[in-house]
Amino acid sequence: MPEDIGLPFDILEMFLNTLEFLALVASVVTFFFLMLNKFLIILNKLLAPYGLGFWARLRVLFLCRRSPVKKRAFLEFALLKTEGRRISHSDWRTIINQFKAHYIEGEPKQSYALDNCMPLLGEPFTKAVQAYFDLFRDKKVKKAFGIREDAVLEWVTTLRIEEAYATPTCLLTGLLARYEENWGDFIQRYVSTAYMTDLTRDGQSRILSNELYMTFAWLLWGPSYEIEHTSYWSGLCQLSFGDESNSVPAIAAPDIAPAMAEMFKKNSGKRYGELISADLSLSDGKQYIKQIRSGILPEETYFYEKMQEQLPFVLKIEKCARSEGYKSKRYYCTAYAWLLFELEDENSYDFKPENSVAFFEHVNLTDAPTYQFLTEALLKKSVLHFRQVFSEPGYADRKYRFVCAFNKYIENKFKEAYTALMRSDDDLADQFASRIILEPKRSPADAFAAFDEFFSKKTQYQFIEVSADDKATITELANFYTEIYMDCFRNVDERESFDNLLKYLKNSQNNDGYSYHIVLAKDSEGVIVAGAIFDYFKRSNCAVVEFVAVRQNLQSGGVGSAMYKHVLTTLSSDAYKNGKRNVDYIFCEIEAPGYNDAPIKKYLYFWQKYKFRHIRMQYIQPALSHIQKPVHGLWLTVAATDKNPDKISTGTVLDVIADYMRYSMQIPDPDKCAEFLQMSNELEGRTYVDLEPIIQ
């Protein structure tokens, strides 16, 4: 009887063990399914950075389990909803629910409606789409989702923009790239170029400051340029929302491009551009442009290449329709109408952005009368400027050449107006005829490419310490000396000879009382752009920066600051080797403001930025050789590394000057040097020397 009772329990135990085993197997299978599921991996890579959590990913995996198209549609839907930005878990729940209502089974293309182009703008969305295409370029991913190897990657979601102001133009954002990324470089480029303009005295060889300002203001938001569309059109256009800066580039599909071009041509007499609604497909930019390259006009290649560099996708217009109603008749888009000139250089073919001047008018691309009125204002603005220039005797030899305009309409209006002026009885008609060249030297794309190059200067530098035992660095020093140093030190009494520099280098090798440094900076192309000589004195734990010299056309571009930061790093290393945390004071010789006749004392602003202050004393630089004279027109300035004092110890000042003369100028006994004695006598009886701002 007990045996009969125990049998059911044995069977039950076996059943439970079997269930436990099956549960374990199911768990392992589920684990590996989840870990190896390609879609879950893609969800993790693509959407987890935007806040899609683990359980939400499992929900999406279950929701889209049967259809590769549905999986891609969800990814695209999510990118459009988030616009490439991180959102909360509750927002993700909402998006998943919205997708369930949005997706219709069996439809090969899902349509997603946008009020305008704004959700497609901005770096976050661009990066998100880039990540999408990067994932789907993988051969294994393509195979898993049933995408042909040779197919151009294209979203399974069609975009419909309800309100797009279409114009046959290209936004020249290539002139600035994305201003959020290089705004600082843009400002530095303007300051540097403006400074070089101010240094020019003859008024002939460089652009004027007000001309440079107009050009940089024109470039600020990136103007547009009209693509030729009256004879043959490759389809490139802009879809804007109120302003050309709020726009996305698009390419009309070959079958609708002729109709769109005809729409632009028919409308040109009434208004500029057309308000449309459009259906678009979103494709991998590189692949699509490669596919249509044979149909792109050679002179338009630049614009397609720039679009490819800036965006990972192409919006292809599949269908479009003109908007009807009161809104379409009153709609407008703001943009620049502009004229671009260059200062004529008969010895050069190259377009130089720093020698260009742009005139622009912020127009409304709307009804023809408004557009024509603002075009006339643009022409009058340019004429007024040239009248002012041609009336100045100091600018008698300046000539200007037309480069290009916003479009052919404005170019033709310009040539008509200027030709009429040149043939009139105006007092300056002959000046306009002889000093304005109406025909450009090159294509607009060549000028735009030159702007791209101008704003893509590298800011990374290689620093080279010159050594007396390294012939290669000595050769680099010789190049620096002839190309930069001599230009920065035009006063021969201030200038060290090249032989002296080599002598100082050799002497410093056998002296442990100080460190003597000559450092050169090279740009990414190996060109020397700057140099500095500085000394560290162990006795006082102080340093002297003899100079920081930057190639003239790069000044105010950040090179000097990069060099000075390297100087500080090197001096900190010297102090550390001497058992100190950092140098106490850094001294620097600079020219007194009244010593030279330069129109702008730019170097004063540089040293003041780094907290240097003038030591109130008559500083005298001893003669650097027997054929040179002492220099009385210099200031000795100083900066403390950890404070901003109003005075400095007299003993520190004299110790540093004495060491500077002894080691860096090779004056054996400074106490017997007439210049040192004169400075010492001036400071006699004073415990401290007052400091004052460099710029009052």
pLDDT at 410 over 60: yes
Contacts of 182 (CB under 8 A, 6+ apart): 176, 455
pLDDT in tens, 366-408: 788 888 899 999 999 999 999 999 998 888 889 999 999 999 9
Residue with tokens 């004063």: 604
Q: Give the tokens for residue 248.
A: 């996305």
Query: What is the per-residue pLDDT across 568-619, written as a single tens digit (0 to 9) for each?
Result: 888 988 888 898 878 999 999 999 987 766 555 778 888 988 889 999 999 9
What is the structure's pLDDT at 193? 75
Average pLDDT taken over every residue of the chain: 86
Q: What is the pLDDT of residues 646-693, one digit of tens each?
A: 899 999 999 999 999 999 898 999 999 999 999 999 999 999 999 999
**Averaged pLDDT, 326-336:** 82
Per DSSP, the three-state class of 442 is coil
pLDDT at 37: 60
Q: What is the pLDDT of residues 67-78, one digit of tens each?
A: 889 999 999 999
- DSSP strands (E only) in 440-495: 462-465
Which residue shows structure tokens 């839907």?
77
Element (H, E) at 162: strand 154-167
Quick check: 423 and 487 in contact, CB under 8 A?
Answer: no
Which range has the top average pLDDT, 198-202, 559-563, 655-659?
655-659
Residue 367 pLDDT? 81
The yes-or-no verdict on residue 357 having pLDDT over 50 is: yes
What's the predicted TM-score (pTM) here?
Answer: 0.67
Fold for the domain defined by 462-693: Aminopeptidase (3.40.630)
Query: Which carries the bigger pLDDT value, residue 192 or residue 276?
Result: 276
| Confidence band for 337, pLDDT divided at 50, 70 and 90 | very high
**Predicted local confidence at residue 31, as pLDDT:** 44
High-pLDDT (> 70) share of the chain, %: 90
Q: What is residue 228's DSSP assignment? A: P
Phi–psi pair at 478, nearest 5 degrees: -60, -40
pLDDT at res. 22: 58
